Every structure is written in structure tokens, then in C-alpha cells.
Amino acid sequence: MTRRDGLPLDVSRQALLEHTSEIILQAWQSFDQARPGEPPIDDGLKALAGASLFESPTSAQQALAEAARVLDSSLAQSRPRFFAFVGSSGLEVGVLADALASCFDVNLAVSGKSADLIEAQALRWVGEFIGYPANGGAFTSGGMVSNLTALAAAREHALPRSRHEGLAGKHVALYCSSEAHYSVKRAAEILGIGADNVRGLPIDKTRRVNSKDVARAVDLDRKSGITPLAVIATTGTTLTGAVDKIAELAEVCEQENVWLHVDGAYGLPAASLNECKELFTGLERADSVTIDAHKWLYLPKACGVVLVKNRTTLAAAFSHFENYMLHDESQMNPVDMTLEYSRPFRALKLWLAFRVHGAEQFRTAIKNNLAQAKLCKELVEASEELELLVEPQLSTVPFRHVPKHLQGNEVALNDHNLKLVKRMQEDGRVYVSSAVIDGRVCLRPCFVNFRTCDDDVKVLIEVTLELGSKSPP
């Protein structure tokens, strides 16, 4: 019997796979080497992007080659000298896992049979890796959805049936560092808490929130008739990589019976290292934690994880019954643990990565990134023209260029460093982004790429000094 194919290919599947595999192999090989600059968007690509809807077929191999050109001229965080953001570096087995998962197109809404088992195993492995006693969780698209999921559980825990009754007439609040990720406010907006009810509390000299300030804010709100929903500890702020003192915040939460959530999207993988354990003391006391495996576990996007100490808290926030999705009510299905219905098999890439590389290889890669951050700090401090703005706690090293003729002129220094970052991006040998810390514009390199080496760090400093010296006096 011949299969009826309403969407035929113009080449064989084998030929198409071979062509695609060659594109991927060339990309992987290119990522191993830094390129001299970022390629421009040429006229051909502009014309392609501006074309009208194609009514007739294009050769599949030609279309794939065009797609590769688009990707190669886009900003690729996989490259070893991309320091701008805390992002993915595209671990190879993660790419292959994505391809396999997409091929079989498993949907983890209701039971996916074997896929359910692997997702549960991958969640356990994440908890084991970072030292968190997880009893449940889910894979998500990233930190935004992970934090939203955890805070939805916190809302339901503090105010049972709020998912049904809403928050009308109820005043609630969240507590976090003033440098917590914006996803906390976004979650507050979506959950009906309100962004104005997020208490972004002052940070100390180490850029951590003070637990005494949290306790005072909680107490003041209770006396004002406001219900505290959750305290958020950030373990690796996006701006500086600061790690809040979890144990101190846990004391406050346990005394006040308030949910403790740890936003570890960036920094939590470092908890797997013995030399970093002290930074994460008290992690096991959190009610929920989030981590982005597509950040410092090197996997392709999207691979966020939310873990909870008690899986029934997720079920209380999300479980439901629909006549068109019958399932055994004695068991919790994946859809009962998260807000997503159609959910791809994201867990496969983390599961496969741990199988192929083992936990120790991941620890070694994280150690290497921390060593690169230390090297960057040392090179900055050794230069008379560079100024370290924040002592690194993880792998983020904010610094700025301070030429002698601009010393003491903060307005001019801010303008100088903004222009310097733009020149460095246009130059393309390294890619950095700017940030503002205490009113001072700086470069904010972050080392979260398994392909980065010490020479790349040295080039970063060399290019900074070279292009910084070219600014007009």
C-alpha cells in the first residue's frame, strides 16, 4: 500500500537528512573557533526576508541552505566569545534530543507513557545535582514560566481557592531583592497580585537582600491587613550574579509561615560544586526552586525547570478535569502540574545530556567558567584603565573602561562606555552588552559557555583596551 503524501518532498528523506546533518556539523565546527567579526545582513538576506508568501514549492535543500545563512548571520550565543547574556551555548546532544523529540512529537499534556517516566527521572536528577529534595515539578519554556508556576502554587497555598475565586477584596504581596529578575513582577501581573505589590527591597554592599528588611516588610504588611504570599531569593541576579542568603530568608519564612521560592534560573547549577555549597546554604528549605538548563547547564532553549518540595502544591494550583481529556483521577498527569497543555518533551535533552556526559563533566565545565570569571577579574584589576564594579560571586564580572582623561567625570565615563560597547559589538571579535550599576554604565560579561577558554577571556580584555583607547579625547 502506497502512503498518500499531501506534502511531498522534492528529494528523498535520506538526502534531506544528510544535507541537514552537514549544515549542523559545519555549525558545530564553526562554534569551536572564534570568528573575526559578525557577518552583516547582506542584500540577499534582506530580499529573502522581504519576500511575499511562496505559493509554489522551493527546493528543500535550497530552503535549508537559506535557513542556515539566516542563522549564521544572527547573534549566536553558542560562540565562545559571546559574553553578552546569560544564555545557552547549544550543547550538541541537546540539539539532537530536540530533533528526536520533535520527530516523535510526544505531547506531555496527559500521559505520554515512557516519556512521563523519563521526565520524572530528569526532574529527580536536577534535584540531586543541585542538592534540592524535590518531590515534583515540571519542565517549562524558561525562567518566566517557571517562576510563574511556582508563584501560582504559592498563591494557592496562602489563599486556597484563589484560583477559582480570584483576589477581589484581598491585598497580597511578594518580597524580593530590588535586583530580582523582572519575571517576578511579570508573574505578579499575570496572577492578579499586581506589580505594585512586589516589594523590591534594598540590597546591601554585596548586592543581597537583607533578611531583616524582609521580616520587617512582612510584619508591616500583616499589620496592614496584607497577606504575604512568598519571599523570592535570587541565586544569581542577572545584573551582577549576586546570591541571596537563602538560609536567613528561610528563617524568616518559617517563622512567618510564608512560602520561600528560590529563583536560580542562572546561578543554581553552581550549587553542585563543593566549593560553592556555602553560597547556597539553606536551599533544601525552599518550597520551590527554578533553574534554566538552557543557561548554565548549556542546553539549547527552551529548557526551564521548576521543582517543589511537595508536589501536591502544584496540583492544588493546576489540576483539573475535562470531559475530552479523560484520565485516571488517582494519578496526577503532567497537565496537573503546570499551566501548559501542549508541551514538548523538553526533558529529553537534559536526560540525554546527563546520560552522555555524566554529572561530573557538567561540574567541571561550571568550574571552568568560574575560573574564567576569576581570570577576567584579575586582568581587570591588573589594568590601570579598567575598574571592577562588583566583586563576582558567580561568573558575572561587571567592569568599565576608565581612561585617565575621564577619571572623576561620571557623565563622560557613562557616555564613553556606552560608545565603547557599541564599538565592540560592531567590531565583532567579542560580543558584550552594557549594563548600569549604581548609575555607572559598564560592560557585563558573563561566562556560561562550555566552549569558552582562557584565551577568549584575554581577547575580551585586549579588545576592550584597544577600542577603549580609540575614543576621542
**CB hemisphere CA count around 367 (13 angstroms):** 11
C-alpha 203/C-alpha 357 separation (Å) is 38
Q: What length does the chain have?
A: 473
Percent of the chain having pLDDT more than 70? 95
Count Cβ neighbours within 10 Å for each residue of 119-138 and write b for 16 or more, e otherwise: beebbebbbebbebebebbb
Overall average pLDDT of the 243-265 stretch: 98
Instruction: Please state the φ and ψ torsions of residue 365, each to the nearest 5 degrees.
Output: -65, -40
- Higher-confidence residue of 76 and 67: namely 67
**So what's the pLDDT on residue 323?**
66
Instruction: Please state the φ and ψ torsions of residue 338, each to the nearest 5 degrees.
Output: -155, 165
5 CB-near residues (< 8 Å, 6+ apart): none
Identify the band that residue 398 occupies on the pLDDT scale cut at 50, 70 and 90.
very high
Averaged pLDDT of the chain: 93
- Which candidate, 233, 166, 218, places its Cα nearest to that of 193? 166
Pairing of strands 399-401, 386-388: antiparallel
Q: Give per-residue pLDDT as tens, 113-124.
A: 888 899 999 999
CB 194 within 8 A of CB 187: no
**So what's the pLDDT on residue 330?**
60
Helix (H) or strand (E) holding 136: strand 136-140
DSSP class per residue in 253-298: HHHHT-EEEEE-TTTGGGGGSGGGGGGGTTGGG-SEEEEETTTTT-
Peptide bond between residue 302 and the one before it cis (omega within 30 degrees of 0): yes
CB 108 within 8 A of CB 119: yes
Q: Where are the alpha helices (DSSP H) in 191-245?
A: 211-223
Q: How far is CA 199 from CA 52, 188, 209, 213, in A?
A: 48, 11, 11, 10
Least confident range from 53-67, 195-209, 257-271, 438-452: namely 53-67
Say which CATH class 108-343 falls into: alpha beta
**Cell numbers of 162, please?**
484563589
Pairing of strands 304-308, 399-401: unpaired
C-alpha 354/C-alpha 350 separation (Å) is 6
Count Cβ neighbours within 10 Å for each residue of 392-422 and write b for 16 or more, e otherwise: bbbbbbbbbbbbeebeeeeeebbebbebbbe
Identify the band that residue 1 occupies on the pLDDT scale cut at 50, 70 and 90.
very low
Q: Where are the alpha helices (DSSP H) in 131-182?
A: 143-158, 162-165
Overall average pLDDT of the 322-333 stretch: 64
**Cell numbers of 35, please?**
570568528
Residue 157 confidence (pLDDT) above 90: yes
- Higher-confidence residue of 337 and 133: namely 133
- What is the DSSP-derived secondary structure letter of residue 342? S
pTM of the full predicted structure? 0.94
Residue 195 confidence (pLDDT) above 90: yes
Please state the separation of Cα 50 from the chain's center in Å.
32
Largest CA distance in the chain: 81
402 CB-near residues (< 8 Å, 6+ apart): 385, 386, 387, 413
Least confident range from 52-61, 269-278, 354-363: namely 52-61
Sign for the CA dihedral angle at 111, 113, 117, 122 comes to: negative
Helix (H) or strand (E) holding 161: none
Residue 329 confidence (pLDDT) above 70: no
Taking residue 469's Cβ as centre, other Cβ atoms within 10 Å add up to 11
**CB hemisphere CA count around 144 (13 angstroms):** 8
C-alpha 421/C-alpha 415 separation (Å) is 10
**So what's the pLDDT on residue 118?**
94
Taking residue 295's Cβ as centre, other Cβ atoms within 10 Å add up to 28
Identify the band that residue 327 occupies on the pLDDT scale cut at 50, 70 and 90.
low
Instruction: Please state the φ and ψ torsions of residue 191, each to the nearest 5 degrees.
Output: -85, 0
**So what's the pLDDT on residue 241?**
97
CB-based contacts of 124-128 (< 8 A; 24+ apart in sequence): 125/350, 125/351, 125/354, 125/359, 126/291, 126/293, 126/305, 126/307, 126/350, 127/307
**So what's the pLDDT on residue 2?**
54
Q: How is the chain split into domains, by residue range?
A: 31-44+58-91+358-473, 108-343
**CATH for 31-44+58-91+358-473, options being 3.10.450.50, 3.40.50.1370, 3.90.1150.170, 1.10.510.10:** 3.90.1150.170
**So what's the pLDDT on residue 340?**
85
